[in-house]
């Protein structure tokens, strides 16, 4: 079975776990709680938890609740992120433009709905802690808590740059932020959770995951930034160029500011410092045109390629003797899947 097929299988199984925790009644409160979960993302994080558990010698069935918990964390974090970023679309498809929860029911109720999903997620985490008959349950609970705290710190740093109208950040600062917001949450954390489920206790073994996982995480986020500027909305599930409207600091923007003229730089500052509601489509197009003119998008693609290659090299060195070779091959396929995605 190839990686996309296995990921789909995992998604279907994990979705059944999630459904069992969502409210059964049909009132408006419950309907809104279901809204983001039922849209179903790619389930990459649950997939990595299951495959990592198998790679380290564990079983899928032991990993399903943890996979459900990490997916539920994505649902409530996205609701809050969409409110914080003033996003307008989430998981749109070719057939349907799907508005963010804030656009559907207003910021206040959207945040409240996110709080409800957050609370349900910790119920799942508590059941995980009780379900294992050894220390693993609490190790998983504590690791999940650690991952989410690191992730919110990364989001805080990005929001602070926007609030303080700080545009000229360095690549080093950007990588430190996406380590927290993306690499830890999307790649390193899920893989470490899978290893813990399989019985890995050694800090050294868990640190090996961090050594290659961070580079995969960097490549993932930079690719995501490129996709937002180059892929049509139906493929990426949100509005094209939304990162510019939301004022996101990206490696693409960093490169542009280092290479454009002083007048252009001043105009970019002016655009990025406007609230989202005041930015125009022509201003968004102006920035994208400059990013193409100065090769900023291609530069970032090459950076991501370099990070993917580094992740693959370190992965091979650190996983030679692991028992789950089939799962290992699927994780290698996952790296290619992440690198080649267009949405």
Return the structure tokens found at 33: 């709680």
pTM of the model: 0.95
Residues 6+ apart with CB under 8 A from 161: 167, 169, 249
Return the structure tokens found at 326: 């089939």
Rg (CA), the chain: 20
Using the CB atoms, write b or e for 89-108: b if 16+ within 10 Å.
Answer: bbbbeeeeebebbbbebeee
Residue at token pair 């790649």: 187
At 235 the pLDDT is: 60
Question: With helix as H, strand as E and coil as C, how does 133-149 read?
Answer: CCCHHHHHHHHHHHHHH
- What are the contacts of 264-273 at 24+ separation with CB within 8 A? 264/290, 268/167, 269/167, 271/244, 272/165, 272/167, 272/244, 272/247, 273/165, 273/167, 273/247
C-alpha dihedral over 13, 90, 257, 259, to 10 degrees? 70
Return the structure tokens found at 241: 């160029």
At 339 the pLDDT is: 93
**Domains observed in the chain:** 3-340 (1.10.600.10)
Per-residue pLDDT of the chain (343 residues; tens, 9 = 90+): 899 999 999 999 999 999 999 999 889 999 999 999 999 999 999 999 999 999 999 999 999 999 999 999 999 999 999 999 999 999 888 889 999 999 999 999 999 999 999 999 999 999 999 999 899 999 999 999 999 999 999 999 999 999 999 999 999 999 999 999 999 999 999 999 999 999 999 999 999 999 999 999 999 999 999 999 987 755 656 678 889 999 999 999 999 999 999 999 999 999 999 999 999 999 999 999 999 999 999 999 999 999 999 999 999 999 999 999 999 999 999 999 999 986 6
């Amino acid at each position: 079975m190839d990686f996309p097929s296995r990921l789909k299988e995992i998604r279907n199984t994990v979705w059944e776990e999630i459904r069992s925790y969502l409210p059964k009644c049909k009132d408006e409160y419950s309907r809104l709680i279901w809204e983001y979960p039922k849209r179903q993302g790619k389930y990459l994080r649950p997939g990595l938890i299951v495959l990592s558990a198998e790679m380290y010698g564990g079983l899928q069935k032991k990993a399903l609740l943890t996979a459900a918990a990490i997916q539920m964390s994505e649902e409530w974090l996205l609701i809050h992120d969409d409110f914080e970023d003033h996003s307008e679309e989430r998981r749109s498809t070719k057939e349907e433009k799907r508005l963010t929860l804030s656009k559907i029911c207003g910021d206040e109720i959207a945040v409240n709905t996110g709080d409800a999903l957050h609370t349900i997620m910790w119920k799942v985490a508590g059941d995980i802690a009780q379900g294992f008959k050894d220390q693993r349950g609490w190790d998983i609970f504590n690791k999940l808590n650690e991952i989410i705290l690191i992730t919110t710190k990364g989001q805080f740093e990005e929001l602070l740059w926007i609030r303080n109208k700080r545009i000229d950040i360095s690549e080093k600062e950007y990588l430190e932020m996406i380590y927290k917001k993306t690499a830890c949450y999307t790649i390193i954390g899920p893989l470490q959770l899978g290893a813990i489920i399989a019985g890995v206790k050694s800090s050294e073994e868990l640190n090996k995951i961090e050594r290659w996982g961070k580079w995969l995480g960097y490549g993932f986020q930079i690719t995501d930034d490129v996709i937002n500027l180059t892929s049509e909305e139906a493929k990426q599930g949100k509005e094209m160029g939304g990162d510019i409207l939301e004022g996101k600091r990206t490696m693409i923007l960093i490169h542009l500011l280092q290479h454009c003229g002083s007048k252009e730089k001043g105009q970019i500052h002016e655009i990025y410092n406007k609230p989202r509601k005041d930015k125009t489509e022509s201003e968004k197009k102006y920035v994208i045109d400059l990013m193409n003119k100065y090769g900023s998008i291609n530069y970032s693609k090459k950076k991501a390629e370099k990070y993917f290659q580094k992740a693959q090299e370190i992965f091979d060195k650190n996983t030679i003797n692991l028992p789950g070779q089939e799962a290992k091959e699927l994780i290698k396929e996952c790296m290619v899947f992440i690198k080649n995605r267009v949405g």
